[in-house]
Amino acid sequence: MTDTQRAALMRAALEMAGRGIPVFPLWPGTKIAAWHRPDRCPATGACADGHAMPEDLATLDPDRIRWRWADRPWNVGVFPGPAGRIVVDCDQPKTGDDPDGWQQLQALAADLGGPLPDTWTVTTPSGGRHCWFRVPPGCRLRGTVKHIASHVDTRCWGTYALAPGSVFEGGAYELLDDTDEAEFPGWLVQANVEHATTAISGRGEKPVKAPDAYVAAALRSETDRVRREPPGRRNKVLSTAAYALGQLVGAHVLDEHLARTELQAAVAAWRTPESLVKDHGVIDTSLRAGGRNPRRITGKAA
């Protein structure tokens, strides 16, 4: 690696931060965060109050970026979630004739009545592409693996992507389309929602806590009620269910991410992309409201 490459990667990091996307160094030529694993945590410094994840430590600060990228040609890890962005990662199939991720995404758009807007796009060394989108206000989305299609992943909360300029296996991530980032379309928001219980965690992500049987039953019955509710009173039923689950989150017997993801999955079953942003807002507001009034748990579940 030359000084020119190091300077180019520093510039790439500064550019991403300038777009409001926090960056974190990855080992040169790799996708591995330059940070310790949770099981090797020294519990000092940034981890004094518990292990800090790269997502917590990623920065927008140009001075810190210049200081960090001064010593090595670090690859540039970028965190779309905290920046209100989501990256659709379209990969190449391992074997010949399969459609690639980009073709799968286009087919899905046609099936579900798309649009698939032009957006800021980066090509990957393996011949895939990263399409960057802005997440609609009020939505909080997780990254997914092979969920939208077999060669389509997403990177959002809990996962990171590589910025253009980064190098991997002898190739580089390169900017393909400099168009402004489009808003993530409603049909893709829905396609991205999955059940947390079957979610594949990103590297280093804390596993979803398994709820107690009583709490699991409550989660199932509340989300079933939402899923089965015919049009008419859906808003009311959703806010009631989210409030009730929020009370369990507030009582520390239910994981908030699990509750949110299961409620989003229930709403996805309505197949009403036009009201999705509003519905996700109702989930967030009611979960929070319920959390401020924790359920008093007696007996086993506590």
Q: For Zn ion, which is the closer residue by CB, 14 or 41?
A: 41
Q: In whole angstroms, give the CA distance from residue 76 to residue 23.
A: 6
Give the single-character DSSP code of 24. E
Only one of the segments 48-56, 66-74, 90-98, 253-261 lies at the binding site for Zn ion (rule: CB under 5 A); that segment is 48-56
Only one of the segments 51-59, 73-81, 167-175, 204-212 lies at the binding site for Zn ion (rule: CB under 5 A); that segment is 51-59
What is the smallest separation between the CB atom of 56 and Zn ion, expressed in angstroms? 10
Is residue 79 a contact partner of residue 24, using CB atoms and an 8 Å limit?
A: yes
Q: In whole angstroms, give the CA distance from residue 151 to residue 263.
A: 26
Pairing mode of beta strands 167-168, 129-134: unpaired
Q: In whole angstroms, give the CA distance from residue 10 to residue 145.
A: 29
Q: For Zn ion, which is the closer residue by CB, 41 or 176?
A: 41
Choice from 12, 51, 173, 192 touching Zn ion (CB under 5 A): 51
What is the smallest separation between the CB atom of 80 and Zn ion, expressed in angstroms? 23
Binders of Zn ion: how many residues, by CB under 5 A?
3
Q: For Zn ion, which is the closer residue by CB, 56 or 183?
A: 56
Q: In whole angstroms, give the CA distance from residue 23 to residue 3.
A: 20
Q: In whole angstroms, give the CA distance from residue 263 to residue 240.
A: 11
Q: For Zn ion, which is the closer residue by CB, 51 or 155?
A: 51
What is the smallest separation between the CB atom of 77 and Zn ion, expressed in angstroms? 16
What is the smallest separation between the CB atom of 97 and Zn ion, expressed in angstroms? 45
Choice from 8, 14, 34, 41 touching Zn ion (CB under 5 A): 41
- What φ, ψ does residue 36 adopt, rounded to 5°? -80, 160
Q: Which residues pair with 157 in a beta bridge?
A: 142
Q: For Zn ion, which is the closer residue by CB, 50 or 115?
A: 50
What is the smallest separation between the CB atom of 201 and Zn ion, expressed in angstroms? 17
What is the smallest separation between the CB atom of 22 and Zn ion, expressed in angstroms? 18
Q: For Zn ion, which is the closer residue by CB, 41 or 289?
A: 41
What is the smallest separation between the CB atom of 13 and Zn ion, expressed in angstroms? 22
Structure tokens at 176: 């393909």
Examine residue 47 and tell whether it contacts Zn ion (CB under 5 A): yes
DSSP 66-118: HHHTTTS--EEEE-TGGGTEEEEEE---SSTTS--HHHHHHHHHHHHT-----
Q: Which parts of this chain interact with Zn ion (CB under 5 A)?
A: 41, 47, 51
